[in-house]
Amino acid sequence: MTDALDYAFRKLRKVSDDAIASLDETNIAQIKFSNNKVSTTQRWIASHITIFASIKNRTVSTIVSPEKKPIDKSIGRIVKFASSLAKNEDYHGIARGPFTYGKSQIFDKKLSKMDMADAVEASINEATTNGALRCSGVFEKEVLKITLKSTGGIDTRDEMTRAYFSIRSFSSKDASGHSVSASRNLKGLDFRKAAIESSTIALLARNPSTLEEGTYDIFFEHLPSANILENASNSSSMFNVEAGLSFFIGSLGKKVGSESLTMVDDATADWGINSRRFDEEGVPCKKTEIIKKGVLKTYLHNTSTASKYKTKTTANAGILAPRAINPVVEKGNFNKEEMLGKIKKGLIVTNLWYTRFQNQASGDFSTIPRDGIFLVENGRIKKPVKGIRINDNMLRMLRNITSASNEQRQIVGWEIESPITVPQILVRKVPITKSTE
Amino acid sequence: MEDLADYAIELASRKGAAFADARYEKKLYNGFLLKNGIVQSSAFEEFEGIGVRVNINGTVGFACTNTLSRIGIKKAVEFAIRDSKAISGLNNGVFLRKSSPAISKYSVKEKIKIEEVGSDQHITCLFDIEKALLSTGVKVPFRYLYLSDSVDEKYYCNSEGSKVTSIVPRVNFYYFITIASRGKTAQRYWQYGKAGGFEAVTEFGFPETLSNDVLSMKKNIEHAVKPPREKTDVIVAPQITGIMVHESGGHPYEADRILGREAAQAGESFITPDLVRSRIGSDAVNISDDPTIPNSFGFYLYDDEGVKAQRKQLVKNGIISNFLHNRETASVFNIDSNASGRTTGFDREPIVRMSNTFIEPGDQTEEELIEDVKKGVYIKTFTEWNIDDKRENQKYVGAEAYMIEEGRILGPVSKPTIEITTNALYSSIDAVANNTEYHAGTCGKGEPMQALPVWFGGPSMRIRGIRLR
């Protein structure tokens, strides 16, 4: 396969001023289960070359199969495409290497060879023994090899394994709980904990009541905490700032959250499910402080956006759009019980769903708690509730984080496409509404 | 490549699959982005490969590859069989529903062939919209305009002898803009799409449409009043009808949700199998899904399981009448599939999906619906929306909206918000107009995510006596 990459790169550099070619070789296996049985097995065996080229500041990207004929065709098309494009005035070059890279990512042979069906069966048994009537979810594992070359003098590769397990348990039609586990290696996957946690929430959520509208202090478990804080991570991309897709526009150096909020992007952490040795233009990944004690310290850049704004790349390419690779929100000093103890009247939210913005620049949004929701009075769970919606503003919410827990977790989920590591958070005065019947 | 797909079936059958199908797909794609008047990196792609599915021992196994050789196909088939056999202790006993063998070739005509349109023509279209936006005189600080097109060539075959070839070109435009006035901002986004050639870009009339959008949003920012607090009548225009019917009139009728197959992802449904023939709305509510509408964004004549497409009526005169099925859910219900199995490409399994979902029109005009409102609100477009994962509690926030008094449209209203249960919504519709429009969307479902082109739509509807926020 690397022969095909070499071939593509040789041809590409003849026609481009700047070029990056990256070969991805993947083998992904997935078991999807529902109602305690397997719905389907899925397998993806794929290899492709992602190409970026700049010809006289006309920029083009494409993906091609690693074979001579399609490569020839694509490179011919890149030239034709670029010849009739306008200049990309936002393009300011790619990284110039060579660079020295850190160690390779985790490649766990045990994970790549494990029996997935056994793990799924054991998890279902664990959840049902704990009282769940039925469970659904997925277990997915991936082996990924990346080889990257660029006209910036970069020639590097990486190899990794990663896996993700998601389980949603039901104890009745109205009562469910969800939990996930993600890791680079088999040792880090905690199937049992996820199964127990999802089924325990489902059991506690039985016979939910309705709730009065109003403002409530909310303790967000890891899944919903990730859902909220992923938006802060996305808002830090310079591309999103320029497009009006960020609530951090004009906020550099300003307070965007409470003292309890510190977020870094640490793609060097080898346990990060998306961590890499290098970003998509081959710059060695690093640790970048995005928010420190509530103050926005930087936007995330690739070489091009950094040059435009006269700063340095944060090693977060995306060629088109810089993005966080392994965002991590710092943990706090409190355990869950201590945080719940601060709630006079509030809620525990265990999952969120369908978060949508009315205005991404102002941060106005709403989202729907899903799975177990619990009314808390004087630090104790009073009863499960249902049918509510959070209507708030993201900046107000970040500023109203009163504390973060001392337990961080890496969250990957159907609603959380960019993995993020978060603690549980307590947010005060969150507006709650419900539907008219 | 047909021979490779045929080989996959032959091999899978030889290795013991009770049913096998294969899909070769080649998708040519072009994408162009203009951000704040600057051309960004443009993209094209030729996405090609084969997906194969086997039904063996009551389990469905899927594998795909972009290595288009007999060795690549053999490896994919062997993985599909090996993976599905490995879970035999947990198999759900599903046998994909049989169907008559289908032999067909079809394509959607292009007046202007996408393959012959240069990148300069795409960029010119985007600059025309940019110029129109700037010429309104309205402050639009952020302008994100994205134009893409694709040609999707498929060959489907299965162990029943089906062989279906199709070519469907599509054009797609998405915009996201921020309008600023008097220290406030509003954001608008919308999507346009249809099956056909590049001629669609001209037919949509984007420069005028977006200019009007910007002017009305400026007026709304500057002059809108709060919506009435008391219960009121609401007329929703086709854009809102469309999103409502998609979210709470289409998704809950997907049989895989009803059976819990998507429980850990896109969720389930408040509908249970025994609710067929139960009342869900007023007599005025008729909901259908029809993939055969010519040039529709969700167009197909055979689904991705080789079953002949058909119009499905989901709700008739307010009564639940049908669900959407693929071969798997049809097998559980012991009925025939109604051809709702769709995928985004060769690398995804076919799951139950909508195509073009709509409220069927009535006899009255929109004006007649408005005339019969003493005091109310007319909502023309919307912004934020969401719905819970059982499709019971939904929210739609109006963007362009106006007060109605004594049957007349008056000044703008600020963000009238409908937050209502599905039962209350469909029971409160007392009349639908005859001004059907279809709108394009990209619907997400499945794991990994499958984002599919759909239309949703219908006519304006009158919703009596509901509370707005």
Interval A123-180: pLDDT, tens: 999 999 999 999 999 999 999 999 999 999 999 999 999 999 999 999 998 999 999 9
DSSP string, B34-57: EETTEE--EEEEEEEEEEEEEEET
Distances (CA, A) of A250 to A98, A253, A297, B28, B289: 34, 9, 12, 39, 45
Q: List all residues of chain B from 18 to 47 with a beta carbon under 8 Å from chain A.
A: 33, 35-36, 38-47
Instruction: Kindly state the average pLDDT of the residues A227-251.
Output: 98
Q: What is the pLDDT of residue A196?
A: 98
Each residue of B45-54: pLDDT tens digit?
999 999 999 9
User: Which H/E stretch holds residue A408?
Assistant: strand A401-411
Q: What is the mean pLDDT of chain A?
A: 96
Strands (E), B196-340: 232-236, 287-289, 312-316, 319-320
Q: Which residues of B touch A134 (CB under 8 A)?
A: 260
Q: Judge whether residue A112 has pLDDT over 90.
A: no
Is the CATH number of domain B2-223 3.30.2290.10? Answer: yes
Distance CA B26, CA A103 (A): 38
Q: Judge whether residue A417 has pLDDT over 90.
A: no
Q: Where in chain A are all domains bearing CATH 3.30.2290.10?
A: 2-204
Each residue of A338-354: pLDDT tens digit?
999 999 999 999 999 99
Q: In one letter, which amino acid is B132?
A: A
Chain B residue nearest residue A117, CA to CA: B87
Q: What is the mean pLDDT of chain B?
A: 97
Q: Rounded to a whole number, what is the distance in Å from the CA of B173 to chain A's nearest CA? A: 16
Q: What's the number of CA atoms in the CB half-sphere (13 Å) around residue B251? A: 28
Q: Which residues of A touch B42 (CB under 8 A)?
A: 59-61, 81, 85
Q: Rounded to a whole number, what is the distance in Å from the CA of B294 to chain A's nearest CA? A: 31
Q: Judge whether residue A223 has pLDDT over 90.
A: yes
Q: Which residues of A touch B187 (CB under 8 A)?
A: 244, 357-361
Do A39 and B261 lie within an 8 Å CB cutoff?
yes
Is B194 within 8 Å of B325 (Cβ atoms)?
no
Do A35 and B84 lie within an 8 Å CB cutoff?
no
Q: What is the pLDDT of residue B345?
A: 96
Structure confidence at residue B1 as a pLDDT band (50, 70, 90): confident
Each residue of B325-383: pLDDT tens digit?
999 999 999 999 999 999 999 999 999 999 999 999 999 999 999 999 999 999 999 99
Q: List all residues of chain B from 275 to 304 with a beta carbon under 8 Å from chain A.
A: none
Do B389 and A387 lie within an 8 Å CB cutoff?
no
Q: In one letter, which amino acid is B387?
A: I
For domain A2-204, the CATH class is alpha beta
Q: What is the pLDDT of residue B92?
A: 85
Do B186 and A359 lie within an 8 Å CB cutoff?
yes
Each residue of B424-443: pLDDT tens digit?
999 999 999 999 999 999 99
Which has the closest alpha carbon to B360: B411, B409, B318? B318
Q: Judge whether residue A92 has pLDDT over 80.
A: yes
Q: Rounded to a whole number, what is the distance in Å from the CA of A158 to chain B's nearest CA? A: 22
Q: Judge whether residue A105 has pLDDT over 80.
A: no
Do B123 and A120 lie within an 8 Å CB cutoff?
no
DSSP A194: H
Is A166 within 8 Å of A136 (Cβ atoms)?
no
Each residue of A385-409: pLDDT tens digit?
999 999 999 999 999 999 999 999 9
* Residue in A31, A40, A91 nearest the CB of B349: A40
Q: Rounded to a whole number, what is the distance in Å from the CA of B44 to chain A's nearest CA? A: 5
Listed range (A104-108, B265-269, B433-437) with the worst mean pLDDT:
A104-108
Distance CA A286, CA A325 (A): 10
Q: Rounded to a whole number, what is the distance in Å from the CA of B298 to chain A's nearest CA? A: 23
Q: Which residues of A touch B265 (CB under 8 A)?
A: 138, 414
Beta-carbon pairs below 8 A across chains A and B: 258
Dihedral, B166, B95, B454, B425 alpha carbons, nearest 10: 160
Structure confidence at residue A311 as a pLDDT band (50, 70, 90): very high
Structure confidence at residue B91 as a pLDDT band (50, 70, 90): confident
Q: Judge whether residue B265 has pLDDT over 90.
A: yes
Q: Judge whether residue A1 has pLDDT over 80.
A: no
Q: Is the ipTM of this complex over 0.85?
A: yes
**Which of A18, A31, A39 is most worth mutating to test chain B (most B CB atoms within 10 A of its CB)?**
A39
Do B91 and A44 lie within an 8 Å CB cutoff?
no
Distance CA B119, CA B60 (A): 42
List chain B domain ranges: 2-223, 232-466
Each residue of B162-197: pLDDT tens digit?
999 999 999 999 999 999 999 999 999 999 999 999
* Residue in A39, A387, A433 nearest the CB of B92: A39
